Amino acid sequence: MTTCTASGWSSLTTCQKACIEIPALVNAAGETWDENTWIVGDTVNISCPYSHLTPQGSTNVTHGCTDDGWTNSSYCIKVCLPPMGLPENMTWPEGVHEVGSVMTVSCPETYLTRDANDNSTYSCTDSGWHTPQPCIRVCLTEPEVNNSITAFDRREMWTDGDKMKVWCLPEHQVRPGITYYTISCTSTGWQEDHPQCLIAECSLSLSGWYY
């Protein structure tokens, strides 16, 4: 209110263009609204919730009050963050991956999908990344064993946890009476601390020679 005084009118209150309502929040949470009007030039900060980003990859959005109302240059969208448990040395594409996006990534060395493909396709869903064929550790070459013959077959896929049978050569054994063992494909390749086939020692018994 302006009052007429002995020295003239009291200080004048000017009318300014203002943004009366808070900006529309799309998948975002605004700061505490301690004002109900904002004049042209004012800004408000808006934070994207977990698993949401702006299309530019930021977790925050700033809206400014202008002559035409609130700016709406950016907003928060549901995205898929990089998945957990990826194979070591697997390169994950950078950027903002919105729900509904699909991408193909290359499996790192010594990894394949269960259908023997060296690429894996991921789909971004509301619950995160989904892939029907993840990259898994495989043992591509025959294990190095001594005095033995393995069941290795290049047409088969040996994955982490698979076991292969190994037979000792004639006159060799793991221990008396045991002429074979199993070796496992592990996350680091073929099991190294496996049994060994050794030359069987001859002993003389009352009934004759035996190994």
Residues with Cβ within 8 Å of residue 73, at least 6 apart in sequence: none
Choose among 209, 173, 174, 178: nearest CA to 194: 174
CA angle 93, 95, 99 (to 5 degrees): 95
pTM over 0.75: no
CB-CB neighbours of 66 under 10 Å? 13
- Asked if residues 195 and 150 have their Cβ atoms less than 8 Å apart, the reply is no
- Dist. CA 189–CA 184, nearest whole Å: 9
User: What is the distance in angstroms between the CA of the first residue and the CA of the last residue of the chain?
Assistant: 114
pLDDT score of 63 = 83
Stretch 29-48: mean pLDDT: 74
The pLDDT-based confidence of 85 (bands split at 50, 70, 90) is: confident
Stretch 152-159: mean pLDDT: 83
pLDDT score of 181 = 94
- Dist. CA 167–CA 161, nearest whole Å: 19
Q: What is the mean pLDDT of the chain?
A: 83
DSSP secondary structure string, the chain? ---EETTEEPPPPPP--EE-SPPPPSS-EEPP---S-EETT-EEEEE--TTEE-TTS-SEEEEEEETTEE--S---EEB-PPPSSPPTTPPPPPS--BTT-EEEEEPPTTEE-TTS-SEEEEEEETTEEE-SS--EEB--S----SSEEE---TTS--BTT-EEEEEEPTTEESBTTB-EEEEEEETTEE-SS----EEPPPEEETTEEE-
Tell me which amino acid residue 201 is. E
Say if strands 29-30 and 43-47 run parallel, antiparallel, or are unpaired: antiparallel
Task: Judge whether residue 50 has pLDDT over 80.
Answer: yes
Stretch 164-172: mean pLDDT: 93
pLDDT score of 207 = 42
Is the four-CA dihedral 36, 41, 45, 48 of positive or negative sign?
positive
